[in-house]
Amino acid sequence: MSIATLSVRRKLGVDLWWLPRAAILGLLAFIIFGPLLNLLLWTVAERWYFPHVLPLDYGFSVWTRVFSPRGNAMDSLQNSILVAVLTVIVSLALAIPAGYALARLKLPLRSLILLAFLIPQAFPNLPVYVNIARLFYQIGLNGTITGVVLVHAVHGLVYAVWIATAAFSAVDPELEQAARSIGAGPLRAFRDVTLPLAMPGLMASAIFVFLESLDEFTGSYFVGAPDVNMLPLLLYSAGAGGNYQIASITALLLLIPSIGFMLIVERFLKADVLSRVGH
Amino acid sequence: MTKENFLELAEISAGYGASRVLDGIELTIAKGEFVALLGASGCGKTTLLRAIAGFVSPSAGSIRVAGRDVTRLPPDKRGMALVFQSYALWPHMTVAQNIGYGLKLKRHPRAEIARRVGEMEKLLGLDGLGDRKPAQLSGGQRQRVALGRALAIDPEILLLDEPLSNLDARIRLTVRHEIRALQKRLGITAVHVTHDREEAMVMADRIVILDAGRIAQQGTPEAVYNRPASAFVAAFMGAENRVELWGQPSSGRFEIESGPANAVCTVPLDGRPLARGFVEARFRAEAAQLLAGTARDAAPAGTLELSGRVESVSYPGGLWRHAVRVGDDVVLVDAGMAFAAGDAVKIRIPSDVLFLFNAPAASSPAPIRSRPGGEKSRSLEASEA
């Protein structure tokens, strides 16, 4: 047998081996991207009903309706982003000192404290938020941006504190001591050494909190609605009303920060930070 | 305050929880002096350095710098600079930013910082590396950046925490001399922590040997090497060979009685507080002389002669190292020529290199001469460590 025929057979073998792989990959891609494609189609569909596989008419008339002053979309987007930004600020303002203390000081109850931040997640959301709403109603926080931000911050603090703890744990305490030993006060050493080195992790936690806030529905619904409109509420009412065009366009608006998030996380989050989450 | 007691440590004790790491340390360091804290790991030397630096607060005692009590001051208010074993360079700053940070804290003008950083870079042979990040430097360069960062602020006291232990053996030898020369030139008071005896000997004006949180002995390298105050110090300074003898003092001399492996010998007492009973004799492998067992000439007066049998021979370089069984003990002896394993040999140790201490076992009625098997398993290179 000559070398040429061998190599041909090997080539063929490789080609054949790729067939099932390609099929599985294609299927996987369809499972992941199929619904997204469906969503994209809905955003530009004017008329689309059963049994048609594709929309009958394409157009952007729904977009103009969504973005018209009466469409509430811009208002909701504004609210959503404002709440998300404020939630990030509140969460980080609490998570930076808390995470630093948990990482640096050998607190005896360290893991217990970390676990305590999970408690709001351990109970079913609905009763928790109903009670918060009742409480907020009494003190006049219901239907205010402040109220919604507080509810989101409770939720976001879990991520913020856990990731901040991991980020600060990843910074060698000797780096800070080196600054102290040549004349930096405690705050200065923290600002110049520990904080910049923990920044990638803190950025990641900020992004997590931002996205969680953007997506949050139950709390926004009970505390915010109907005075404070948020994108997920709009999505919900559109979806519940069978208006798939509006629901899809809203979903697409919510998708944009998610994709941006993935890109940023990929850049910022070092593996060694992630590996310390929960330590 | 005089120049002689620039840094004073009085009755320093410290501990983590119930365990005591430092126990009543008394130490006075003169201005411009280079002191090495030497000891095995866990002896408290790093804790002592960190207590001086302000990262460990002593449970008792006081630390004074130039007459000023700094015991309760935070690290940044003590006018000291610590060079860490890990170097602890800031990875997000360049070499120049690392070195200049201390000056930035003191709000020096930018131009002056740049000038000083340039000076330090030149002094430490870091020219042209100012814009690099620490990750782009070799181990030796990082070590010098760490040193430069500490020296840039003109500290009154430079603290060095095993700064050479992460370097290659070859670089380490040159950096020793570099640091020593720099310290002399700048006239800085330096406290250097190390577990490396040779490093301490080469670099320091004075060696402070720590054992279990206490000062075992302090003195010039020569004094500590030639006149160890205790069996521990003798062993730490390389006199690892140990045999037990019986003797008694008599009018300024110490008479060693003959034993199963040694002849009668009388050595000058030299003011050593030796009592009658078992003594632990310690000597270095290179200090003893090895002769064939058939040698007929008598040992010179004051020289201890042991007889034994060669167990194994190795060649660490320069001299042949013999493991010789003397009674129940195995000792290491260097000789210019190799004896074969199994040869009967005599070991002669002149009195000036023979360190005698009353054996701690002397209090018990039946002293244990050596743990069975314990000495046997000792490797030939043991005294190299």
- Give chain B positions within 8 Å (CB) of A196: 92
Q: Do both A138 and A37 map to the same domain?
A: no
Half-sphere exposure of B206 (CA within 13 A, CB side): 18
Provide the 3-class DSSP secondary structure of residue B367. coil
Angle between helices B139-151 and B169-186 (to 10 degrees): 20
B326 with B261: CB under 8 angstroms?
Answer: yes
Q: Is residue A180 part of a domain?
A: yes
Provide the 3-class DSSP secondary structure of residue A143. coil
Q: Is residue B323 part of a domain?
A: yes
Which token pair is B125? 């042979």
Residue B32's CATH number: 3.40.50.300
Q: Do both B137 and B203 map to the same domain?
A: yes
Half-sphere exposure of A229 (CA within 13 A, CB side): 16
Q: Do both A77 and A124 map to the same domain?
A: yes
Is B82 in Cβ contact with A181 (below 8 Å)? Answer: yes
- Give chain A positions within 8 Å (CB) of B156: none
Distance, CA of B153 to CA of A183 (rounded, Å):
9
Rounded to the nearest 5 percent, the helix, strand and coil shares of chain A are: 80, 0, 20
The stretch B181-209 carries a mean pLDDT of 92
- Give chain A positions within 8 Å (CB) of B105: 182-184, 188
User: Is the torsion defined by CA of B34, B39, B43, B47 positive or negative?
Assistant: positive
Question: Rounded to a whole number, what is the distance in Å from the CA of A185 to chain B's nearest CA?
Answer: 6
pLDDT at position A265: 67
Written as one letter, the residue type at A246 is I
**For the segment B77-120, what is each residue's pLDDT rounded down to a tens digit?**
998 999 999 999 999 999 999 999 999 999 999 999 999 999 88
Q: Is residue A279 part of a domain?
A: no
pLDDT at position B216: 92
Q: Do both B83 and B148 map to the same domain?
A: yes
Establish if A272 touches chain B: CB-CB under 8 angstroms.
no
Q: Is residue A211 part of a domain?
A: yes
Q: Is residue B2 part of a domain?
A: no
Q: Do both B157 and B246 map to the same domain?
A: no
Q: Which of A178, A186, A188 sits opposite B105 (nearest CB)?
A: A188
Q: Is residue A146 part of a domain?
A: yes
Q: Which of B53, B90, B91 sits opposite A181 (nearest CB)?
A: B53
Q: Do both B257 and B291 map to the same domain?
A: yes
Q: Is residue A246 part of a domain?
A: yes
Is B101 in Cβ contact with A177 (below 8 Å)? Answer: no
Q: Which residue in A172, A175, A181, A202 has the most chain B C-beta atoms within 10 A of its own C-beta, making it the best mutation to test that interface?
A: A181
Q: Do both A81 and A138 map to the same domain?
A: yes
Q: Do both B195 and B269 map to the same domain?
A: no
Q: Do both B115 and B244 map to the same domain?
A: no
Sheet of strand B289-292: strand arrangement: B289-292, B344-350, B303-317, B319-326, B329-335
Which token pair is A33? 């991207």
Is A181 in Cβ contact with B76 (below 8 Å)? Answer: yes
In this predicted model, which residue has the larger pLDDT, B290 or A120? B290
**For the segment B14-41, what is each residue's pLDDT rounded down to a tens digit?**
887 777 889 889 999 999 999 999 998 8
pLDDT at position B377: 38
Q: Which of A174, A177, A183 sits opposite B102 (nearest CB)?
A: A183
Is B81 in Cβ contact with A175 (below 8 Å)? Answer: no
Query: Which structural domain range is residue A23 located in?
Result: 3-59
Query: To the nearest 10°, the Cα dihedral for A132, A134, A138, A141?
Result: 50
The one-digit pLDDT tens for each residue of chain A (279 residues) are: 455 555 555 555 566 778 888 899 999 999 988 888 888 888 888 878 778 778 888 888 877 777 777 767 778 888 888 898 999 999 999 999 999 998 887 767 787 888 887 777 778 888 888 888 888 888 888 888 898 999 899 888 888 988 899 889 889 999 999 999 999 999 999 999 999 999 888 888 888 888 888 888 888 888 887 778 888 888 888 778 777 888 888 888 888 777 776 777 666 666 555 555 544
Which token pair is B43? 């002896």
Considering its fold, how many domains does chain B have in total? 2
- Give chain B positions within 8 Å (CB) of A182: 76, 81, 101-102, 105, 149-150, 152-153, 155
Chain B's closest residue to A178, CA to CA, is: B88
User: Is the torsion defined by CA of A163, A164, A165, A168 positive or negative?
Assistant: positive
Q: Do both B203 and B262 map to the same domain?
A: no
Q: Which residues lie below 8 Å from residue A278, measured CB to CB, with a gap of 6+?
A: A114, A162, A166
DSSP state of B339: P
Q: Do both B177 and B295 map to the same domain?
A: no
Q: Do both B120 and B213 map to the same domain?
A: yes
Distance, CA of B102 to CA of B80 (rounded, Å):
11
Is A197 in Cβ contact with B92 (below 8 Å)? Answer: yes
Q: Which residues of B touch A (CB under 8 A)?
A: 53-55, 74-76, 80-82, 84, 86, 88-92, 101-102, 105-106, 149-150, 152-153, 155, 159
Q: Is residue B378 part of a domain?
A: no
Q: Do both A104 and A191 map to the same domain?
A: yes
Q: State the complex-level ipTM.
A: 0.80
Distance, CA of B304 to CA of A74 (rounded, Å):
100
Q: Is residue B289 part of a domain?
A: yes
Q: Is residue B59 part of a domain?
A: yes
Provide the 3-class DSSP secondary structure of residue B310. strand
Is A175 in Cβ contact with B74 (below 8 Å)? Answer: no
Is A193 in Cβ contact with B91 (below 8 Å)? Answer: no
Considering its fold, how many domains does chain A have in total? 2
Q: Is residue B311 part of a domain?
A: yes
Q: What are phi and psi of B155, to 5 degrees?
A: -70, 150
Alpha carbon distance, N-terminus to C-terminus of chain A: 61
The stretch B115-131 carries a mean pLDDT of 89
Q: Is residue B294 part of a domain?
A: yes
What sections of B139-230 are H helices per DSSP? 139-151, 169-186, 197-203, 221-226
Q: Do both B63 and B165 map to the same domain?
A: yes
Q: How far is CA A66 from the centre of its chain?
A: 24
Burial label, A29 (beta-carbon count in 10 A; 0-12, 13-18, 19+): exposed
Distance, CA of A87 to CA of A157 (rounded, Å):
9
pLDDT at position B379: 40
Is B102 in Cβ contact with A197 (below 8 Å)? Answer: no
- Give chain B positions within 8 Å (CB) of A193: 90
Residue A175's CATH number: 1.10.3720.10
Establish if A97 touches chain B: CB-CB under 8 angstroms.
no
Q: Do both A120 and A54 map to the same domain?
A: no
Burial B242-280 (b: 16+ CB within 10 A, else e): bbbbbbeeeeebbbbeebebbbebebebeebebeeebbb
Q: Do both A147 and A203 map to the same domain?
A: yes
Q: Is residue A65 part of a domain?
A: no
Distance, CA of B324 to CA of B331 (rounded, Å):
5
Distance, CA of B26 to CA of B10 (rounded, Å):
5
Q: Do both A206 and A95 map to the same domain?
A: yes
pLDDT at position A230: 83
Alpha carbon distance, N-terminus to C-terminus of chain B: 40
Query: Which structural domain range is residue B325 located in?
Result: 239-366
For the ranges A57-71, A258-272, B222-236, B248-262, the maximum mean pLDDT occurs at: B222-236
Q: Is residue A31 part of a domain?
A: yes
Give the number of A-B residue pairs with CB atoms closer than 8 Å. Answer: 64
- Give chain A positions within 8 Å (CB) of B54: 180-181
Residue A211: enclosing H or E segment and its boundaries? helix A195-215
Angle between helices A73-104 and A195-215 (to 10 degrees): 140
- Give chain B positions within 8 Å (CB) of A186: 74
Is A192 in Cβ contact with B101 (below 8 Å)? Answer: yes
Is B74 in Cβ contact with A185 (below 8 Å)? Answer: yes
Provide the 3-class DSSP secondary structure of residue A54. coil
Q: Do both B127 and B36 map to the same domain?
A: yes
Tell me: pLDDT of B382 over 60. no
Distance, CA of A216 to CA of A213 (rounded, Å):
5
What sections of A44-172 are H helices per DSSP? 61-67, 73-104, 110-116, 119-122, 125-138, 145-169
Q: Do both B144 and B243 map to the same domain?
A: no
Question: Rounded to a whole number, what is the distance in Å from the CA of A204 to chain B's nearest CA?
Answer: 18
Q: Is residue B269 part of a domain?
A: yes
Tell me: pLDDT of B366 over 50. no
Q: Which of B91, B105, B150 sits opposite A184 (nearest CB)?
A: B105
- Give chain B positions within 8 Å (CB) of A183: 76, 102, 105-106, 153
